[in-house]
Structure 1
Amino acid sequence: MGGLASGSEPVIAITGANGFVGRACVAEARRQNLPVIAVYRSAPLPEWASDANITELQLDLCDETAAQALKNALPDHSAMIHAAAHLGDDIDRLVQDTMQSTRSVMNALRGRDIRMVLISSLAVYDTEAVQPGDTITEASPLIEMPDQALESPREFVASARDPYAGAKRLQEAMLTHDDDAEDDWVLRPGAIWGPGRSWHALQGFWASKLHITIGSTGQLPLAHVEHVARAAVEAARTPTEGVPILNVFDDDLPTRAQFLAMHKASYGWPRANLTVPYGLWLTLIRLMRPLADKLPGLFREPILRARMMPLRYPNTRLRQALQGNDKGTFSEMMKQTWEAEQ
């Protein structure tokens, strides 16, 4: 949406500031002594009240007046981390909370000297175009999107592999297809975890008290919330050209078997787990293909491939662009996550 002068320290506005990723971004920006505008819809976090360098701004980004209110609040030479989005598969909420909120942010930043960092998702990749053992990079194929999708977002979201993935794909396209995007960033985190969210959606599913893990090999594309926040704040501070796109994965990625063992050692659950090889599960659900429309997600092949296929997830471009290393290994971060919850 515009560039900051090199070397200048921006005010950082953060949408979805009271959400899982947003609150971590607020904490990281303040750790780096950067002033923050915390944009939230429902309620501010209690800890903000004691910090004079956090400006609270309550806005519903789905409202038509939000763009103007946001524009009035943002000084030039600032940055925006856009973390507000709907995390489920409700199509109406995805259109409003993901698509419309992004439109409001873009309208507020249009023509302004403000850098935008969009928190996107690993979900935008087209896993129908890869095979087990492949490597996912920023150049991997994306979910196919017809030219008219931006004009009819609801139809595209409803027809996508899953609505969340379709909405994130469209959200990215809104930014990357915009002529005003000059100095912005797109971050694609994997499964975001951390204190308050030690588990993740890429392990398998629950059958009553029994957990079914699908596959034990292949890297889990995890991204600890503190690592995502640091990448977002560093991007907000870093001049660039065009719209760089970075996958955000932890340096040390466990397999599903390793994650299961470490989580059980730290938290004591899942107490009962059955691991089914990915290839066997894929064969079973293909036999049930005639019933696919009536079955839940991981019983449908496109969802299974997107969430459970054993792949490799390097973060090479992230390290080249933003430097640095993670705070710790996977086991160290699991221990820190458990300790933070006690």
Structure 2
Amino acid sequence: MGAVIAVTGAAGFLGRAVVARARAQGHELRAISRGAAPPEWAGDTGIEVVHADLRRESPPLDGVSAVIHAAARMGGDDAAQAEGTVAPSARLLDHAAGSGARLVLVSSISVLGTAGLAPFARVNEDTPIEPRPERRDAYARAKIAQERDARAIAARHGAMLRIVRPGAIFGAGHLWNAHMGVTLGPLTLGPRHAGELPLCWLAHAAQILLLAATAPQADPVELIHALDDDRPDRARFLAALGRRGLPLGWRGLDMAAGLLTPLAPRLPGLLRRETLRARLMPLRYDNAHAHALGFRPEADFETAMAAARGAA
């Protein structure tokens, strides 16, 4: 295997951060993107830009030691997710595994099933995947399918696989997240509790993904939750943004969603109990696997949020 790291979705929000950090560390890159290359890549001989639409073609992966697969649709229904995320991901990972590369799949903690957890339970890599994905949104279902396919492909080829599940990634231009609740003008309607927000600063996400691509790996499949050490509650998050919140009682929200369960297939995502619990339930989180990989935090929450706001 060569020393080149391939990154799909390289021109996207997360992909650009991975590319920038990798180059700062001296890694050679194959940046795979459907769109135009960012101007800051011009003249950098350490970045080989490959234009490819993963829905229709597989990019060249010869000489690649690891593939960080970050390309995915962020929205859309099941059909759009199948076309834009699930099918291209399976094809890309199969091609990468056949080329002898280590697989690093960017998944999401949205795959986890939290409906059966008690409030303030600790969530880690042993937390089960959602057992009733039909009651969740199309994005969560697509990520569950990606993980299933990645495991099967890695087993078939004997490839090494790391599944990295970032929390809500924030950075310049991407400050808000679905775990906060619903916004009404300057107000935010969300639960009043001291549960942690599963946040991951963009710089930390890039650091963890590069570690996943380069650090020695003993087990054929490893799960890593990419989360900050300093995880604020909702009140602290709103204070950092200078916004006001209208707190709601968590138990009342949960009970109301439970009463609507028979109507779940016809309801918006946040009114489905499983989706509401996944986003708003008071929980604690664990990132010990990221630390075991070598993750070292570079900023606390307020410092990271200030940097993200200042760069926006």
Q: Shorter-chain TM-score: what band?
A: over 0.9
Match for 1:35 among 28, 44, 49? 28
The 1:299–1:110 alpha-carbon spacing in structure 2 relative to 1, beyond 3 Å, is closer
1:16 aligns with 2:9: yes
Q: Distance in 1 between matches of 2:52 and 2:74?
A: 19
Residue 164 of structure 1 corresponds to: 139
Residue 238 of structure 2 corresponds to: 260
The more displaced of 49-58 and 208-217 is: 208-217
> C-alpha offsets along residues 130-181 of structure 1, whole Å, 9 cap, x if unaligned?
1211111111111238xxxxxxxxxxx7x35211111101101111123224
1:327 aligns with 2:284: no
1:317 aligns with 2:289: yes
1:337 aligns with 2:312: no
Q: Is the 8 A contact 1:251 1:325 kept in 2?
A: no
Residue 154 of structure 1 corresponds to: none
Q: Distance in 1 between matches of 2:216 and 2:261?
A: 49
> C-alpha offsets along residues 102-122 of structure 1, whole Å, 9 cap, x if unaligned?
122123223322111100000
Match for 2:211 among 220, 228, 234? 234
CA-atom RMSD in angstroms:
1.9
Q: Is the 8 A contact 1:61 1:100 kept in 2?
A: no
Q: CA deviation at 1:290?
A: 5.6
Residue 149 of structure 1 corresponds to: none
Q: Is the 8 A contact 1:215 1:310 kept in 2?
A: no
> C-alpha offsets along residues 75-125 of structure 1, whole Å, 9 cap, x if unaligned?
335211000011114222210121122122123223322111100000111
Partner SS for 1:128: coil
1:184 aligns with 2:140: no
Q: Distance in 1 between matches of 2:169 and 2:120?
A: 22
Residue 228 of structure 2 corresponds to: 250
The 1:185–1:291 alpha-carbon spacing in structure 2 relative to 1, beyond 3 Å, is closer
With the length of structure 1 as denominator, give the TM-score of the two structures: 0.85
Residue 48 of structure 1 corresponds to: 41
Q: Distance in 2 between matches of 1:324 and 1:283?
A: 39
Paired letter, 1:136: V
Match for 1:139 among 114, 126, 130? 126
The 1:253–1:238 alpha-carbon spacing in structure 2 relative to 1, beyond 3 Å, is same
Q: Is the 8 A contact 1:85 1:97 kept in 2?
A: yes
Partner SS for 1:187: strand
The 1:77–1:50 alpha-carbon spacing in structure 2 relative to 1, beyond 3 Å, is closer
Partner SS for 1:258: helix
Partner SS for 1:80: strand
1:207 aligns with 2:184: yes
The 1:43–1:160 alpha-carbon spacing in structure 2 relative to 1, beyond 3 Å, is farther
Q: Distance in 2 between matches of 1:296 and 1:58?
A: 36
Residue 112 of structure 2 corresponds to: 125
Partner SS for 2:123: coil
Q: CA deviation at 1:44?
A: 1.7
Q: Distance in 2 between matches of 1:110 and 1:325?
A: 29
Give me the identity figure in percent: 36
Paired letter, 2:151: T
Q: Which runs of 5+ in 2 are unaligned?
A: none
Paired letter, 2:237: F
The 1:181–1:224 alpha-carbon spacing in structure 2 relative to 1, beyond 3 Å, is farther
Partner SS for 1:50: coil
The 1:297–1:214 alpha-carbon spacing in structure 2 relative to 1, beyond 3 Å, is farther
The 1:140–1:288 alpha-carbon spacing in structure 2 relative to 1, beyond 3 Å, is closer
Paired letter, 2:143: K
Q: CA deviation at 1:335?
A: 1.3
> C-alpha offsets along residues 197-249 of structure 1, whole Å, 9 cap, x if unaligned?
11111100123443212233101000111111111111111231301111111
Q: Distance in 1 between matches of 2:184 and 2:309?
A: 25
Partner SS for 1:22: helix
Paired letter, 2:252: L
- Give the count of matched residue pairs: 309
Q: Distance in 2 between matches of 1:288 and 1:75?
A: 52
Q: Distance in 1 between matches of 2:70 and 2:193?
A: 31
Paired letter, 1:115: R
